């Protein structure tokens, strides 16, 4: 125990003396939480549209103004030449082309049907699909208006009367930030665990001080605890800073569930992810190696965690990776507790799995950490 | 110097694959002795020393350090030795006193012992006014002396020094050796590797390693007589020129 006291004393002194690390600890949660949820937004706005109107009738005008007033589209070209508009599509100025054919109004009135052409620039897949479906629903809506105009006076109502009302549970206003902020908090503590801890240990290897430690009677587990505890506390601190300061004050995010349960899970998660950092450090001899290795794992952990893309829509083989990833479980737990108000009972499986991860990574790292070669 | 053996090796060998870094090394070192461990670059000195410190497990052979077995009792060995590596290995981002406190603490010294001993130590080294300076800001010579003092701070039975005076000026080297003599007078056995032949002369006995084997082992004066020369340089040259390995 006394050994551990001296190790911790030394570690904290070194961390607080390193101004770059200190700044990172303070600035990282602030910047990431302020910038990312606002910028990395999946709502698609500003879809560039070029409209080719061969009809120039009141109806076609009405459709165009409906599209423009929807707020999702920016009109980049309005003309009567498909070729011109297509050039815009080719040069990436336009994402979509809507072609309104000649006799649009006449056919609508007379034959009660008319087809439109939507050409989509599918290079940016998300923008194209989402923009296309927005446009589709606007036209649908327009269609409904027309039918109502024409048919109602005659007393016949052929417009479907089923009206769908959505009720959004847990995030009633579909606030995208409520969804992202908890996820980014997870990202933050993952970074601290996987990077800072690994780099710190490898630095001792690089400088040669670890050799000095290895000739002392310090026990392996003391040394490792001496490294884990400081970064564990930093992780808790950074999380709290982001959670209570930014998430609450800036995004008005008040957790629906128990904060105690959340912190219990956070503590466990940190042990697991610090284990990853430790493991990385036992396999690297230089800070560069540790960086590259951590970066590799971080990318997989983050992209396969369901933070940005739902795991349910991943292919089967990818789901295996997603569920072999500790970050996935913490993001799930965060969203469950913060947004749904889930209690311990709902996430006990997550606790069990995370305990497994913590044991696996740390045991592996301890076995692989050698005082003697 | 007494007859009490503190380091004893018998046919100690370390192989890395086909390469035999240390080949059947056999020697004894006595309590309070200053034992010079010489050899050209790549001769296997550091490998041998790492085995004796418990940093590296031997491939075969036997050795006891301070009475403890190098295979089974490495943790007990570590309590009884001090070690100063080629690479400077105090924490540069801690102060002089913090370094002393840390290493004293992990060897199990009490807070009072640490306090009293560190004051005495910085006074002795002439660092009294620099106790709160970061070690990284000290000149190399002071760092080396400090590193040595920290290595023997917990009063080990043996201290291992791996090329401790590399890169320091002759005056500082002389001062460094004064510290070594003082430690030896207190009964600490000093096991030192060096490339400086004047330093070899300061040792009670030296061993010469060539290609992983010990080629000669005796007092410097005896070796000079044996090779019929007046300088250790010549002795070294005579022994090392047959070497197959090098940089």
What pLDDT, in 10s, does the model give residues A66-75? 888 887 888 8
Determine which of A61-70, A352-361, B88-97 has the lowest per-residue pLDDT on average.
Answer: A61-70
Q: Domain map of chain A by residue range?
A: 2-40+177-368, 47-154
Q: Domain range for residue B220?
A: 31-54+80-240
Q: Provide the pLDDT confidence category of residue A160 given band limits of 50, 70 and 90.
A: very low
Question: Do the chains contact at B107 and A217, CB–CB below 8 Å?
Answer: yes
If DSSP codes are grouped into helix, strand and coil, which group holds residue B16? Answer: strand
Domain total of chain B: 1
> B90 in contact with A at a CB cutoff of 8 Å?
yes
Identify the CA nearest to B148 among candidates B204, B99, B98.
B99
Q: How many CB atoms are closer than 10 A to CB B221?
A: 10
In tens, the pLDDT along A57-113 reads 888 888 888 888 887 888 888 887 888 888 888 888 888 888 888 888 888 777 767
Q: Which of A10, A207, A217 has the CB atom closest to B102's CB atom?
A: A10
In A, which residues are within 8 Å of B79 by CB distance? 217
Residue B5 forms part of a structural domain: no
pLDDT at position A161, please?
Answer: 45
Label residue A81 exposed, middle or buried (CB < 10 Å: 0-12, 13-18, 19+): exposed
Distance CA(B34)–CA(A317), nearest Å, equals 65
Residue B169: which CATH number?
3.40.50.300
Residue B4 forms part of a structural domain: no
CATH of A47-154, one of 3.90.1170.50, 3.40.1710.10, 3.90.79.10, 3.40.50.720: 3.40.1710.10
> A16 in contact with B at a CB cutoff of 8 Å?
no
**Is B194 in contact with B200 (CB distance < 8 Å)?**
yes
* Beta-carbon-side half-sphere exposure of residue B238 (alpha carbons within 13 Å): 15
Q: Is B15 a residue whose pLDDT tops 70?
A: yes
> A21 in contact with B at a CB cutoff of 8 Å?
no
> A221 in contact with B at a CB cutoff of 8 Å?
no
To test the contact with chain A by mutation, choose from B52, B106, B137 the residue with the greatest count of A C-beta atoms within 10 A, namely: B106
**Is B94 in contact with A16 (CB distance < 8 Å)?**
no
Q: How many CB atoms are closer than 10 A to CB A155?
A: 6
**Is B60 in contact with B13 (CB distance < 8 Å)?**
yes
Q: Is A174 a residue whose pLDDT tops 60?
A: no
Query: Rounded to the nearest 10 degrees, what angle do helices A220-240 and A2-17 cross at?
Result: 50
> A285 in contact with B at a CB cutoff of 8 Å?
no
Distance from the Cα of A369 to chain B's closest Cα (Å) equals 13
> A165 in contact with B at a CB cutoff of 8 Å?
no
Q: Which of B53, B74, B91 has the CB atom closest to A14's CB atom?
A: B91
Chain A residue at shortest CA distance from B16: A373
* b/e B27-50 (16+ beta carbons within 10 angstroms → b): bebbbbbbbbbbbbebbbbbbbbb
Q: What are phi and psi of B9, to 5 degrees?
A: -125, 150
ipTM over 0.90: no
Identify the CA nearest to B162 among candidates B12, B77, B45, B54.
B45
Q: Which of B54, B90, B93 has the CB atom closest to A372's CB atom?
A: B54
Q: Is A372 a residue whose pLDDT tops 80?
A: no
pLDDT at position A147, please?
Answer: 67
pLDDT at position B184, please?
Answer: 93
Q: What is the rounded average pLDDT for all residues in chain B?
A: 89
> B73 in contact with A at a CB cutoff of 8 Å?
no
Q: What is the DSSP string of B160-207?
A: EEESTTTT--HHHHHHHHHHHHHHHHTT-EEEEE-S-HHHHHHSSEEE
> A19 in contact with B at a CB cutoff of 8 Å?
no
CA A273 to chain CA centroid, Å, is: 19
If one compares A156 and B174, the residue with the highest pLDDT of the two is: B174
């Amino acid at each position: 125990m006394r050994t551990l006291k001296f190790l911790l004393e030394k570690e904290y002194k070194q961390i607080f003396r390193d101004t770059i690390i200190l700044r990172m600890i303070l600035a990282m949660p602030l910047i990431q939480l302020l910038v990312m949820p606002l910028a990395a937004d999946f709502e698609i706005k500003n879809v560039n549209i070029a409209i080719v109107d061969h009809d120039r009738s009141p109806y076609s005008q009405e459709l165009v103004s409906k599209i423009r007033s929807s707020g999702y589209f920016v009109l980049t070209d309005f003309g009567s030449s498909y070729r011109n508009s297509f050039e815009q599509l080719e040069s990436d100025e336009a994402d979509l082309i809507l072609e309104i054919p000649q006799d649009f109004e006449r056919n609508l009135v007379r034959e009660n049907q008319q087809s439109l052409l939507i050409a989509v620039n599918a290079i940016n897949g998300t923008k194209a699909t989402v923009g296309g479906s927005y446009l589709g629903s606007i036209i649908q809506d327009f269609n409904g208006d027309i039918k109502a105009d024409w048919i109602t006076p005659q007393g016949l109502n052929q417009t479907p009367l089923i009206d769908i009302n959505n009720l959004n549970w847990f995030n009633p206003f579909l606030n995208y930030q409520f969804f992202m902020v908890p996820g980014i908090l997870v990202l933050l503590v993952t970074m601290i665990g996987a990077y800072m801890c690994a780099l710190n240990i490898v630095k001792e290897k690089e400088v040669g001080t670890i050799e000095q430690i290895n000739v002392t009677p310090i026990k392996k587990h003391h040394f490792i605890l001496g490294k884990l505890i400081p970064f564990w506390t930093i992780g808790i601190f950074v999380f709290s800073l982001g959670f209570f300061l930014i998430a609450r004050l800036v995004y008005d995010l008040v957790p629906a569930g128990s904060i105690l349960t959340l912190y219990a899970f956070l503590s466990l998660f940190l042990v697991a992810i610090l284990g990853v950092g430790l493991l990385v450090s036992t396999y690297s001899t230089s800070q560069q190696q540790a960086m590259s290795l951590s970066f590799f794992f971080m990318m997989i952990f983050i992209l396969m965690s369901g933070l940005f893309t739902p795991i349910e829509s991943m292919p089967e083989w990818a789901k295996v990776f997603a569920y072999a990833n500790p970050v996935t479980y913490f993001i799930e737990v965060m969203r469950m507790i913060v947004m749904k108000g889930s209690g311990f009972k709902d996430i006990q499986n997550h606790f069990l799995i995370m305990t497994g991860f913590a044991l696996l990574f740390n045991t592996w790292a301890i076995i692989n950490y050698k005082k003697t070669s | 110097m007494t007859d009490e053996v503190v380091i004893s090796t018998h046919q100690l060998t370390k192989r890395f694959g086909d390469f035999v870094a240390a080949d059947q090394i056999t020697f004894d070192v006595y309590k309070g002795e200053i034992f010079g461990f010489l050899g050209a670059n790549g001769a296997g000195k550091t490998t041998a020393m790492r085995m004796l410190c418990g940093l590296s497990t031997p491939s075969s052979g036997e050795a006891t350090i301070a009475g403890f077995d190098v295979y089974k009792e490495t943790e007990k060995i570590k309590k009884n030795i001090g070690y100063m590596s080629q690479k400077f290995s105090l924490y540069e981002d801690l102060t002089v006193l913090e370094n002393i406190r840390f290493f004293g603490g992990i060897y199990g010294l009490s807070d009072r012992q640490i306090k009293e001993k560190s004051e005495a130590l910085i006074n002795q080294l002439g660092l009294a006014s620099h106790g709160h300076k970061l070690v990284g800001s000290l000149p190399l010579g002071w760092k080396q002396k400090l590193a040595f003092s920290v290595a023997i701070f917990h009063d080990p039975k043996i201290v291992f020094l791996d090329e401790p005076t590399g890169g320091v000026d002759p005056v500082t080297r002389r001062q460094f050796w004064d510290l070594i003599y003082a430690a030896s007078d207190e009964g600490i056995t000093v096991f030192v590797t060096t490339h400086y032949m004047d330093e070899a002369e300061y040792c009670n006995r030296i061993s010469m390693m060539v290609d992983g084997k010990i080629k000669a082992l005796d007092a410097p004066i005896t070796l000079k007589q044996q090779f019929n020369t007046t300088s250790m340089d010549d002795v070294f040259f005579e022994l090392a020129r047959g070497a197959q390995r090098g940089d």
